[in-house]
Structure 1
Amino acid sequence: MAVDFHQMEHKAPEPKRTTLRNVAAEAGVHVATAAVILNGARSSTVVSPGTRQRVIDVAARLGYSANRAAQTLRRQRSMTIGLAAGPVQNPFFAEMATLCESFLLDAGYELVMAMDAGRYLDDRAILETLRARGVDGIIMWSERETEGRRLAEKGFDCPLVFFGYPSESVDSVTADFGLGAQMAAEHLVEVGRRRVGYFCPSESLALWSGNLRLQRFCDTIRANGFHPAVFPYEGRLGDVSRAREAAESLARTSDTLDGLLCFNDLVAIGAMMGLRRAGLRVP
């Protein structure tokens, strides 16, 4: 009987993962001290700046990285927070994400962001996706009734906070959108504008915050003895090109306006582009 022998391939053993114990031993500190410095472990231990830097330097030299899966199993927490917000093309949401991440990192958490790209009736999927990622809690931007909002208000098995539209059954943080519109309108009047209009996509009129802005704008302009003008246009909240087209059309058909209050930053960006294309100077 003939037997063929094939040379077996021998793989080089994979390098062992650097552990927290390796770092602690190399830096000459207790494992618990290294855990406080590198993993944000809770402890009453006070660590000097010199010791902290030494441990960080050793960890970098040895290529140490925290084992998140092991930490999650041990703590029964992922140390992550989900943010369900609008697209970061909107400067408001970009700043919101930046501030949330900065605060969470200082507290030892990481941010997982899921963007709502305008599918307002489909944000339930965003909440379920973040929950499936095992986040410890969710911050949800909400300014209208949606499937996701209704799911959260019925009872959601993950700690959740609304930002934007207040709720009677879910913890919420809200801004005074009405006061903001009032202050903006008062500023336009103070700098000498007398024929001021409110410029917004029609979609915004269905929003709680949109109605607040509109009502306070109108009240403020009337209180100063002038007539408020409202210019809604067909378009989505984040559609800059549609805002540009609408503003250009408005500028070419109306020669009475000398000031505009826009619904949000993206509408304002589109409005400035449209007004300039129509030959108007925007300070």
Structure 2
Amino acid sequence: MKPKRSVPALMDVARRAGVGAATVSRVINGGQNVSARRLAAVQQAIEELGYHPNQAARSLKGARTKTIGLVVPSVADPFFSAAAEAIQEVARGHGTLLLLAVSENQSAREQEQVASLIQRRIDGLILAPSDGADFSMFKHAGFPVVCFDRPFPGQDIPVVLSDNYAGAKAATEHLVKAGRKRILCLSGDPQLFTSKRRVKGYRDVVRAAGLPYLAEVSVQDHESAVAALTPYLSGRSRIDAVFSIKNAITVSAYKILRDAGLEVPKMVAIAAYDDFELADTLDPPICVVRQPVVGIARRAAEMLFEALDRGQVQTKMVKMEVELIHRASCGGHSR
């Protein structure tokens, strides 16, 4: 058997470079008060040995670990998977490793994941908080936190989000202008910040237009979407439009209408919050409110590194504009 190769240590670098351990440590931490000759010798030794500083050991001395945490409700949701990728790219640009955890939008699970990240001595955290998030989980954290997609309940933590209300309002107004009179809003978790703001945008428009407020706010999966939508597909309760506040609900609604033989948009129009893959290739393509997902995620990551570098974030809330993408599912011209 071949002997196991040991990972080079700081003392190995010192011996190779012919300097003391303190000199190597100063080089690793910026090279201050080190002569050009010794700096070059240490850098060469580091390269030859393939040495990497022990971030865990450095963190015990108060240095950064070069890791940050990200907690999201789901990685199956295209919004959060795209956000995670964008945040990882920003972290990579700062020479930092991203540790990803999933909360399933449950406060107990969220606290477990945050505690685990704290134990790993992360430098900072980016969080899409659950609606039951408890601020006490940060009591002994000692690092900056930035939220995205939704604010932390009851706390003044920096946050980056889209204009949920304006997006829902624009989509519903588009349906009203297209002549729709009975517009059903399909929503998920009624306690979630994003759900509340989007449902409010819809509600304000239909009430201002003198139309009935029709909402099913507990759609969690395809089965519950069937149960929520089916009563509105025939008889006196029949609708002529659907406004869905989440892409997964939109896909279910599209399938349910198709299976019921209701032609879109001739019989029932569809407008949705959040663009999704293949939305523009369906027949008809789906009219959506598009969020700047990458922009939201990157801004949240930049704010976290700003807090790490400067000790604070200048802006407490960043609200990004959304865009209504007109497509044929509402009965208008697509673009």
Fold equivalence (TM over 0.5):
yes
Q: What's the offset of the Cα at 1:161?
A: 1.6
Higher RCO (CA < 8 A, seq sep 6+)? 2
Contact 2:115 2:137 in 1 (8 A): no
Query: Taking structure 2 as the reference length, what is the TM-score of the superposition?
Result: 0.59
Q: Residue by residue, what CA displacement relative to the aligned partner does 1:65-112 show, whole Å, maximum 9, x if unpaired? A: x636x1443472221111111111111111111111122112221211
* C-alpha RMSD of the superposition: 3.6
1:14 corresponds to which of 4, 26, 35: 4
Q: What's the offset of the Cα at 1:231?
A: 2.8
Instruction: Report the AA paired with residue 203 of structure 2.
Output: C
Gaps of 5+ in 2: 17-26, 32-46, 265-283, 285-335
**Is it true that 1:232 corresponds to 2:222 in the alignment?**
no
2:88 corresponds to which of 101, 111, 130: 101
1:217 corresponds to which of 187, 196, 202: 202
Q: What's the offset of the Cα at 1:254?
A: 6.4
Moved more, 12-21 or 91-100: 12-21
Gaps of 5+ in 1: 1-10, 26-35, 44-58
Q: Residue by residue, what CA displacement relative to the aligned partner does 1:243-278 show, whole Å, maximum 9, x if unpaired? A: 245334543566632221112111112221222221
- Number of aligned positions between the proteins: 235
Match of residue 275 from structure 1: 257
In the alignment, the residues of structure 1 paired with residue 253 and residue 243 of structure 2 have an alpha-carbon distance, to the nearest angstrom, of: 10
**Is it true that 1:175 corresponds to 2:156 in the alignment?**
no
Query: Taking structure 1 as the reference length, what is the TM-score of the superposition?
Result: 0.68
Contact 2:232 2:238 in 1 (8 A): no
**1:42/1:143 CA distance change after superposition, 3 Å:** farther
In the alignment, the residues of structure 1 paired with residue 130 and residue 162 of structure 2 have an alpha-carbon distance, to the nearest angstrom, of: 11
Q: Runs of 4+ in structure 1 displaced over 4 angstroms? A: 15-22, 152-155, 252-255
In the alignment, the residues of structure 2 paired with residue 208 and residue 112 of structure 1 have an alpha-carbon distance, to the nearest angstrom, of: 25
**Is it true that 1:256 corresponds to 2:235 in the alignment?**
no
In the alignment, the residues of structure 2 paired with residue 17 and residue 168 of structure 1 have an alpha-carbon distance, to the nearest angstrom, of: 44
Q: What's the offset of the Cα at 1:16?
A: 5.9
Larger radius of gyration: 1
Give the secondary structure class of the aligned counterpart of 1:161: strand
Identity, in percent, stands at 25
1:111 corresponds to which of 95, 98, 105: 98
Instruction: Report the AA paired with residue 229 of structure 1.
Output: Y
**Is it true that 1:162 corresponds to 2:147 in the alignment?**
yes
